[in-house]
Structure 1
Amino acid sequence: MLKPLKNKSSLLVGSGLLGLALIGTIPLAPKAIDWMEQRQQAQIEKALQEDSNKPSVVLTLAEIPSEQRRQKLEEIAASDTLSLERSRARYLLAVDLLKKYEGGPALRQLEGLENEYPVLAPLILLKRGRGYELTNEKAKAQETWQELVKTYPESLIAAEALVKLGQSDPSHWDEAIAKFPQHPGTQEIIRERLTKNPQQPELLLLLAKYDKNNPATNPMRDRLVKDYASQLTPEDWQAIADGYWAVEDYYKAALAYQKAPSTAQNLYRIGRGQQLQPNGNNKATVQAAYQKLLVAFPQAPEAALALQRLAQLSQPETAISYLDQLINKFPEQAGDALVKKAELLDKLNRQGEATKIRQTLLSKYAKSDATAEYRWLIAQKAAERGDALKAWTWAQPIVVNNPESPLAPKAGFWVGKWAQQLGRLEEAETAFEYVVTRHPQSYYAWRSAVQLGWNVGNFNTIRQTLPQVAKPTTRSLPPAGSAMFQELYRLGQDREAITLFQAEMSDRAELDVNESFTDALLKLVQGKNLVGINQVWDLKKKEELESQEQWQKLRETPEYWHALFPFPFYQTIMDWSQKRQLNPLLVTSLIRQESRFEPEIASPVGAKGLMQVMPATGEWVANKIQLKNYSLSNPNDNVNLGTWYLNHTHDTYSNNSLLAVASYNAGPGNVSKWVKRYQTSDPDVFVEKIPFKETKGYVESVFGNYWNYLRIYNPDIAQLLAQKNQQTPK
């Protein structure tokens, strides 16, 4: 009987191709074998494509400890039916076994797996080599890694095989450096070689080009600039400058950009980098750099930035001339420029001209954010005088003309509140509906939902509210990176996924929106929550049209909001919230604001950990609850102490969460003074009157967080918002 094709025996039975296996009793010509392989591969690809759209049990096990998931994975892996689920289960079992140095069982799971799981085929060969290593079959390990390099010569996984092979034959390391300088494994080899012999500019340059975002590369860049400047090309200088800029060493970047190709961005960064030089800068040099940009690239977006910087650096009369250029050449910047011009005219005691400028702002640039800010300033002043009609009149156009302005949700909410005061109840309801549907992520959407009577908890009822929380059971598909990377990420294979993504992105001068978001997801799975959340938040700051389009599309996905409002330390938060009888989403929201879920973070005044507990407060609470040998860096201890104190502030203010949260930030003494001073029954008015800017922002942020966690993780509110959006005309 003809032997099954190499590594295909399990594949034939598993894919329902037993009939093809049985014809092995008849000798087959090579072309017949090729036909068989092609047909098998086609059936595999079809089965996997159909399977990829189905819910995955394996993916729900991705972040569960290996011992807890082993039995379920073994059941799935033992299936006789070819499926993506079976392939994933076999791979995860093999990885778990290799980590426990069980090479033989891992090899059995990996046998033939590359044929039925092609997306991870190079990695499967790499793992198989490791399995042979563990069973002391070193020759087979070497053969397997050589097969990987030969079969997948362009795959970044081949770099890892070359690193392995180089341990016995260093010539393979030369090959890795030549073919895969972008791979972190190769870069480690480069660094080791530089440690032994620093005088290798070609290796220094490889790190400068392919490991530019790493602050540890700065000494390499410094050495190139100091010792090998005459050998560097303009393109080399570009890589060096981009690296300095990426790690925020702006002055060194500015000096390097002077020798890079002359582009609008480079010229701007020459000026800006010198302007940001610590311990002062040469104002004339900075101005000259910006002026050079204006001459060389007068219409570039960077020219608009240069005019803004020059206006900031100049005396009022000269600054006005730069602002006039900005208004004439870049109409989209005219609103902000007019506001600044009016302010300068006021300083020059030319109030008449300033008034005309502001009239022009209102009439000609009604849709600019600057106009929205000016209108809101007038509306606020009217409201403070008790003139609800004038406040409504000035604020209402913001909703119509500036729907994308950061002020739009706030203006919309207060348009509704002022309409209520004026007895215009239908208009008020329309305004609240507008904020909820058009700006559902804002703090004012929550305040509007309260006004509409939704069951979302108000300031005086949130504490007792216990909303259902539904977390995603699997990781979403990242919007960037290769198919192999995406599969590894979803499988929870974070080390391999991070390494692969770093290698794939290493030649990018800057990441686009989808790439940066994917990078932020990797930060979050590493527990770098502060960096990850901030990186997602900063995506909106990318001003290019393509970037804005990507961002707008991305923020329509649930994955974007899950990343911006993640739920680390979920069980710890849920357990202590339940014990303190606190709304777990309120606790989560306060933690997000306090520390971005960083257990080790410390504030300038000494507050520590997730809930930013002051050491003295922690000691006081620990004595109250008889907690000994605690650590503020321990998440469980910190949340224990922090939730007790949050419960204490609620008890102090009769379960009013507005006052409790304000007290958590500003202290009970200040809050008690404000309650006596303002004596208002309207909590929204009270928030506006809080005299500490930090505390006012803190309150809005915490409850804005609460609303977002509610709309993202509570199925009832998520469904209600979805229904509202369907009913709202686009």
Structure 2
Amino acid sequence: GLFWQAKCCQKLGDNNKAAYLYKKIIDLNSYSYYTFASREMLEEMNEEVQIEEINTQLNPENPQIADIIPDIYDILEEDSYTNDIEIGDINHINKAIELLKLEFFNSASLEIEAGSSEIEENPARTLEIATLFLKSNDYSNSINIIGKNLKQLKSGLNEPYTDYLYYLYYPYGYKEIVQKYSSQYKLDDPLFTLAVIRQESNFVPDAVSYAGAQGLMQIMPSTGEGIAKQIGISNYNVNILLDPEINIRMGTFYLRQQLDNFGQNKFYCLGAYNGGPGRMSDWVSKRGNMDTDEFIESISYEQSREYVKKVMGNYYFYQMLYD
């Protein structure tokens, strides 16, 4: 890929070609791990670097957001729906809006799901539906509806909507719990925890993997049992892992442990979180003297290799949105 071509040019002393290739990666505007790694390389080379910034005024928590994109936020006002939607959908969406006002989030989410099927082809409507999901605390459906339609949305919308959709795609879910335990276990950035949750479970609180990992941060039952003893949770049973607060508490504790085990290195921490600390220790002892990008590519366990890149890509993106 382009990134490795750039690294090779840099090693061979052809900094001009390397810088050109790194900038080309950034211009592709994919916001992947390699976009942000390219930016770091350019900064090290003292090259000017420009990643298109996201308008942070479009954070859904900004009190002024309804003034910036009123047509999207009008959805929460009565009678905002017009005749270009099937009447059945209007009923579902109107019901959802009323349920949201009463803070019946789960019921609202079911109504939105029932009402969203006809209108995903329409970019503005898709943003409205995703916004409703977000307001129902149904972060996974917000991510899914944007992800499924990302290409059409990026080509079919203008600013500021193109920036706003990233807040729906990278939501700050479970904010109070994430901040509480990231702080309690001295993680330097709650956005790191958030990046892990997005990759692990897509914010589905009762997610269970084929291997049996549970909940938002996908804790294995045996790992959960060990953590429960260390943090003083008595009467442990596997069902508590589906409780968002307990799961995030355990997950942040485990992240803290792995950071301590691996010299506060976030890349190593993530490899250990996914592949296990034993495997990670083995990889570090054999190849820990490599540069970070080469080390990640050398991880012999493909799932862990991709996981580290995806979570760090999430993390850099979350920083761009919420820092």
Please tell me whether residue 662 in structure 1 is matched to residue 271 in structure 2: yes
Alignment of 1:323-342 (within 5 A): none
> 595, 602, 605: which one pairs with 2:208?
602
Matched residue, 1:616? 222
Q: Is the CA contact (8 Å cut-off) linking 1:554 and 1:560 kept in structure 2?
A: no
* Structure 1 residue 661, shift from structure 2 partner: 0.3
Matched residue, 1:522? 132
- Measured at CA, do residues 625 and 555 of structure 1 come closer, stay the same or move farther in structure 2, by a change above 3 Å? same
Matched residue, 1:342? none
* Structure 1 residue 658, shift from structure 2 partner: 0.8
* Structure 1 residue 617, shift from structure 2 partner: 1.0
- Measured at CA, do residues 548 and 571 of structure 1 come closer, stay the same or move farther in structure 2, by a change above 3 Å? closer
* Structure 1 residue 451, shift from structure 2 partner: 1.7
SS at match of 2:149: helix
Q: Is the CA contact (8 Å cut-off) linking 2:76 and 2:97 kept in structure 1?
A: no
- Measured at CA, do residues 509 and 487 of structure 1 come closer, stay the same or move farther in structure 2, by a change above 3 Å? closer
SS at match of 1:648: helix
Matched residue, 1:632? 241
Q: Is the CA contact (8 Å cut-off) linking 2:259 and 2:269 kept in structure 1?
A: yes
Q: In structure 2, what residue type is equivalent to 1:427?
A: K
Q: Can you list the C-alpha shifts for 1:93-117, whole angstroms capped at 9, x where unaligned?
A: xxxxxxxxxxxxxxxxxxxxxxxxx
Please tell me whether residue 532 in structure 1 is matched to residue 142 in structure 2: yes
Matched residue, 1:472? 61
Q: Is the CA contact (8 Å cut-off) linking 1:608 and 1:615 kept in structure 2?
A: yes
- Measured at CA, do residues 478 and 607 of structure 1 come closer, stay the same or move farther in structure 2, by a change above 3 Å? farther
Q: In structure 2, what residue type is equivalent to 1:472?
A: E
**Whole-Å separation in 1 of the counterparts to 2:195 and 2:282:** 25
**Whole-Å separation in 1 of the counterparts to 2:142 and 2:112:** 15
Q: In structure 1, what residue type is equivalent to 2:276?
A: G
* Structure 1 residue 549, shift from structure 2 partner: 2.9
Q: Once superposed, what is the RMSD of the aligned Cα atoms?
A: 3.3
Matched residue, 2:39? 449
Q: In structure 2, what residue type is equivalent to 1:539?
A: N
* Structure 1 residue 665, shift from structure 2 partner: 0.6
* Structure 1 residue 712, shift from structure 2 partner: 1.0
**Whole-Å separation in 2 of the counterparts to 1:690 and 1:504:** 43
Between the two proteins, the alignment pairs up a number of residues equal to 279
- Measured at CA, do residues 505 and 617 of structure 1 come closer, stay the same or move farther in structure 2, by a change above 3 Å? closer
**Whole-Å separation in 2 of the counterparts to 1:635 and 1:534:** 20
Matched residue, 1:569? 174
**Whole-Å separation in 2 of the counterparts to 1:572 and 1:430:** 43
Q: Can you list the C-alpha shifts for 1:307-338, whole angstroms capped at 9, x where unaligned?
A: xxxxxxxxxxxxxxxxxxxxxxxxxxxxxxxx
* Structure 1 residue 554, shift from structure 2 partner: 6.5
* Structure 1 residue 666, shift from structure 2 partner: 0.8
**Whole-Å separation in 2 of the counterparts to 1:518 and 1:709:** 22
**Whole-Å separation in 2 of the counterparts to 1:471 and 1:484:** 14
Please tell me whether residue 424 in structure 1 is matched to residue 14 in structure 2: yes
* Structure 1 residue 638, shift from structure 2 partner: 1.3
SS at match of 1:611: coil
Identity %: 29
Q: Is the CA contact (8 Å cut-off) linking 1:478 and 1:486 kept in structure 2?
A: no
> 99, 107, 112: which one pairs with 1:495?
99
Q: Is the CA contact (8 Å cut-off) linking 2:213 and 2:220 kept in structure 1?
A: yes
- Measured at CA, do residues 496 and 636 of structure 1 come closer, stay the same or move farther in structure 2, by a change above 3 Å? closer
**Whole-Å separation in 1 of the counterparts to 2:161 and 2:277:** 40
Please tell me whether residue 700 in structure 1 is matched to residue 304 in structure 2: no
Uncovered stretches (5+) of structure 1, i.e. residues with no partner: 1-375, 377-410, 455-469, 715-730
SS at match of 1:601: coil
SS at match of 2:264: coil
- Measured at CA, do residues 692 and 502 of structure 1 come closer, stay the same or move farther in structure 2, by a change above 3 Å? closer
What is the TM-score with the length of structure 2 in the denominator?
0.75
Alignment of 1:273-284 (within 5 A): none
- Measured at CA, do residues 508 and 471 of structure 1 come closer, stay the same or move farther in structure 2, by a change above 3 Å? closer
Q: In terms of mean alpha carbon deviation, does 618-627 or 519-528 score higher?
A: 519-528
Q: Can you list the C-alpha shifts for 1:121-165, whole angstroms capped at 9, x where unaligned?
A: xxxxxxxxxxxxxxxxxxxxxxxxxxxxxxxxxxxxxxxxxxxxx
**Whole-Å separation in 2 of the counterparts to 1:573 and 1:426:** 42
* Structure 1 residue 576, shift from structure 2 partner: 1.0
- Measured at CA, do residues 625 and 503 of structure 1 come closer, stay the same or move farther in structure 2, by a change above 3 Å? closer
- Measured at CA, do residues 532 and 453 of structure 1 come closer, stay the same or move farther in structure 2, by a change above 3 Å? same
SS at match of 1:672: helix
Alignment of 1:126-275 (within 5 A): none
**Whole-Å separation in 2 of the counterparts to 1:506 and 1:562:** 19
Q: Is the CA contact (8 Å cut-off) linking 2:116 and 2:129 kept in structure 1?
A: no
* Structure 1 residue 603, shift from structure 2 partner: 1.5
SS at match of 2:148: helix
Matched residue, 2:29? 439
Matched residue, 2:297? 688
**Whole-Å separation in 2 of the counterparts to 1:422 and 1:650:** 34
**Whole-Å separation in 1 of the counterparts to 2:154 and 2:184:** 44
Matched residue, 2:75? 485
- Measured at CA, do residues 420 and 550 of structure 1 come closer, stay the same or move farther in structure 2, by a change above 3 Å? same
Q: In structure 2, what residue type is equivalent to 1:520?
A: A
**Whole-Å separation in 1 of the counterparts to 2:19 and 2:98:** 48
Alignment of 1:536-575 (within 5 A): 536-540=146-150, 549-550=155-156, 553=158, 557-575=162-180
**Whole-Å separation in 2 of the counterparts to 1:517 and 1:471:** 12
Alignment of 1:340-351 (within 5 A): none
- Measured at CA, do residues 689 and 520 of structure 1 come closer, stay the same or move farther in structure 2, by a change above 3 Å? same
Matched residue, 1:713? 322
Q: In structure 2, what residue type is equivalent to 1:565?
A: Y
**Whole-Å separation in 1 of the counterparts to 2:219 and 2:160:** 33
Uncovered stretches (5+) of structure 2, i.e. residues with no partner: 45-58, 81-95, 102-107
Greater gyration radius: 1
Q: Is the CA contact (8 Å cut-off) linking 2:75 and 2:128 kept in structure 1?
A: no
**Whole-Å separation in 2 of the counterparts to 1:603 and 1:627:** 23
Q: Is the CA contact (8 Å cut-off) linking 1:594 and 1:611 kept in structure 2?
A: yes
